[in-house]
Structure 1
Amino acid sequence: MHLKTILAFFLFYSFLSTLPGQNAVENFSMAGIPMQLTYSEGAYDVSISTNRVVQGLEIATIHLRSDQKFSTQEMSIKWAIPSSNIAGYWGTSAFMNKTVRPDWWPSTEKSMLSRAAPVICLYGYDDVNQHTFAVSEALNTVVSSTAIREETGTVHNEIKLFTEKHKAIREYEIQLRLDTRNINFASALKDVNQWWETFELYQPARVPEAAKAPVYSTWYSYHQNLDSESMLRECRKAREMGYTTIIVDDGWQTLDSNRGYAYTGDWLPERIPEMKELVKEIHDLGMKFVLWYAVPFAGEKSQAFHKMKGKFLTYWDGQGAYVLDPRYPEVREFIINTYVKAVEDWDLDGFKLDFLGRFRANDETELTAENGRDYASVNLATDRLMTDLMIALRKIKPDIMVEFRQPYIGPLMRKYGNMLRAADCPNVALVNRVRTTDVRLLAGESAVHSDMLMWHYDEPVQFAALQLINVLYSVPQISVRLEDIPDQHFKMIQFYTDYWVKNRDVLLEGEFFPQNPLLNYPVLVGKNDRKSITTLFEDRLVAVDLSTQPAFDIVNGKTTEKIIIDFSGEKGYYAFRIVDCMGNESATGGMTVKPGVKVFEVPAAGMIQFFKL
Structure 2
Amino acid sequence: MTILTTRTSRYDLTCQSENPAFQTEIAVTAVEPGIDLVSIRLTTSEPAIPSPVTIAWTLPIVDIHSSWNPASDLEKNLLISSGFGAKVTTKAPVISLHNLAGHNRLTFAYSDGLHAVRMQAEVHDQSSTYACAVRLFTEGATPFTVYEETLRLDTRDVPFYTSLDDVQRWWAIRPDYAPIAVPEHARLPMYSSWYSFRQHVSADALEHQCRLAKALGCEGIIVDDGWQTVDTSAGYGYCGDWSVAREKIPDMKAHVARVHELGMKYLLWYATPFAGKYSQAYQRFADRLLNYREEVYQAGVLDPRYPDIREYLITIFERALRDWDLDGFKLDFIDSFSLQSDTAYAQQRGEGQDYVLVVDAVDRLLAEMIQRLQKIKPDVLIEFRQSYIGPRLKKYANMFRAVDCPNDALVNRARTIDVRLLNGRSATHSDMFTWNSEEPVESAALQLINGLFSVPQLSVMIDTLPQRHIDMVRFWLSFWREHRDVLLDGTLMPVHPEGLYPLVQAVTDKKHIAVIYHDMVVNPGLHVPRELMLVNGTQTGRVVLELDEAIGSRTCEIRDCCGVVLSDEKRLFDKGLTRLEIPASGLAILK
TM-score category, normalised to shorter length: over 0.9
Distance 1:278 1:136 in 2: 44
Greater Cα offset, 374-383 or 403-412: 374-383
Greater Cα offset, 297-306 or 399-408: 297-306
Distance 2:420 2:30 in 1: 28
SS at match of 1:402: strand
Distance 2:365 2:346 in 1: 18
In the other structure, the counterpart of 2:278 is 301
Distance 2:377 2:549 in 1: 50
In the other structure, the counterpart of 1:313 is 290
The superposition leaves residues 11-32 of structure 1 with CA deviations (integer Å, 9 ceiling, x where unpaired) of: xxxxxxxxxxxx2211112223
Aligned counterpart for 2:388 among listed residues 387, 408, 419: 408
Name the CA shift for 1:327/1:545 in 2 (closer, same or farther; >3 Å). Answer: closer
In the other structure, the counterpart of 1:5 is none
Distance 2:548 2:69 in 1: 34
Name the CA shift for 1:367/1:122 in 2 (closer, same or farther; >3 Å). Answer: farther
Name the CA shift for 1:543/1:235 in 2 (closer, same or farther; >3 Å). Answer: same
In the other structure, the counterpart of 2:267 is 290
Contact residue 512 and residue 528 of structure 2 kept, 8 A: no
Alignment of 1:104-183 (within 5 A): 106=81, 108-183=83-158
Aligned counterpart for 2:44 among listed residues 44, 47, 66: 66
Match of 1:262, as an amino acid?
Answer: G
Is 2:337 aligned against 1:359?
A: yes
Alignment of 1:327-346 (within 5 A): 327-346=305-324
In the other structure, the counterpart of 2:360 is 380
Match of 2:491, as an amino acid?
Answer: E
The superposition leaves residues 544-580 of structure 1 with CA deviations (integer Å, 9 ceiling, x where unpaired) of: 3574321111000001112111123244221111111
Aligned-pair identity in percent equals 39
Match of 1:218, as an amino acid?
Answer: S
Q: 1:362: how far off?
A: 4.1
Aligned counterpart for 1:244 among listed residues 215, 219, 234: 219
Distance 1:524 1:146 in 2: 27
Distance 1:500 1:478 in 2: 13
Contact residue 216 and residue 238 of structure 1 kept, 8 A: yes
In the other structure, the counterpart of 2:174 is 199
Distance 1:545 1:352 in 2: 40
SS at match of 2:30: strand
Show structure 1 runs of 5+ residues with no match: 1-22
Distance 1:525 1:196 in 2: 25
Match of 2:131, as an amino acid?
Answer: H
Contact residue 546 and residue 570 of structure 1 kept, 8 A: no
In the other structure, the counterpart of 2:164 is 189
In the other structure, the counterpart of 2:536 is 556
Give the TM-score taking structure 1 as reference length: 0.93
Number of residues of Structure 1 aligned to a counterpart in Structure 2: 585
SS at match of 1:85: coil
Q: 1:323: how far off?
A: 1.0
Distance 1:44 1:269 in 2: 53
Alignment of 1:418-457 (within 5 A): 418-457=398-437
SS at match of 2:391: coil
In the other structure, the counterpart of 2:76 is 98
Distance 1:534 1:55 in 2: 32
Show structure 2 runs of 5+ residues with no match: none
SS at match of 1:60: strand
Contact residue 100 and residue 107 of structure 1 kept, 8 A: no
In the other structure, the counterpart of 1:14 is none
Match of 2:180, as an amino acid?
Answer: A
Is 2:361 aligned against 1:393?
A: no
Greater Cα offset, 332-341 or 264-273: 264-273
Contact residue 92 and residue 109 of structure 1 kept, 8 A: no
Distance 2:551 2:337 in 1: 59
Greater Cα offset, 428-437 or 136-145: 136-145
In the other structure, the counterpart of 1:20 is none
SS at match of 2:510: coil
Distance 1:184 1:106 in 2: 24
Name the CA shift for 1:547/1:63 in 2 (closer, same or farther; >3 Å). Answer: closer
In the other structure, the counterpart of 1:11 is none
Q: 1:348: how far off?
A: 0.2
Match of 2:278, as an amino acid?
Answer: K
Match of 1:302, as an amino acid?
Answer: S
Distance 1:464 1:230 in 2: 24
SS at match of 1:278: helix
SS at match of 1:412: helix
Distance 1:257 1:550 in 2: 53
SS at match of 1:442: helix
Greater Cα offset, 451-460 or 40-49: 40-49
The superposition leaves residues 300-324 of structure 1 with CA deviations (integer Å, 9 ceiling, x where unpaired) of: 1111122334222211222221111
Aligned counterpart for 1:278 among listed residues 255, 259, 266: 255
Distance 1:544 1:377 in 2: 49
The superposition leaves residues 253-301 of structure 1 with CA deviations (integer Å, 9 ceiling, x where unpaired) of: 0111112111111111113231111100000000000000011111111
Contact residue 63 and residue 174 of structure 1 kept, 8 A: yes
Distance 2:219 2:49 in 1: 51
Give the RMSD, CA atoms, in angstroms: 1.4
SS at match of 1:414: helix
Distance 1:481 1:505 in 2: 29
Distance 2:182 2:448 in 1: 23
SS at match of 1:543: coil
Aligned counterpart for 1:591 among listed residues 565, 568, 571: 571
Distance 2:137 2:9 in 1: 26
Contact residue 166 and residue 367 of structure 1 kept, 8 A: no
Q: 1:107: how far off?
A: 5.8
Distance 2:47 2:537 in 1: 58
Greater Cα offset, 62-71 or 45-54: 62-71
The superposition leaves residues 313-340 of structure 1 with CA deviations (integer Å, 9 ceiling, x where unpaired) of: 2112222211111111111111110000
In the other structure, the counterpart of 1:497 is 477
Name the CA shift for 1:134/1:544 in 2 (closer, same or farther; >3 Å). Answer: closer
Distance 1:28 1:477 in 2: 49
SS at match of 2:369: helix
Give the TM-score taking structure 2 as reference length: 0.97
Distance 2:469 2:448 in 1: 11
Distance 2:340 2:44 in 1: 26
Aligned counterpart for 1:260 among listed residues 235, 241, 262: 235
In the other structure, the counterpart of 2:9 is 31
Aligned counterpart for 1:45 among listed residues 18, 23, 28: 23
Aligned counterpart for 1:225 among listed residues 191, 200, 215: 200
The superposition leaves residues 75-102 of structure 1 with CA deviations (integer Å, 9 ceiling, x where unpaired) of: 211111111110111100111111112x
Is 2:61 aligned against 1:83?
A: yes
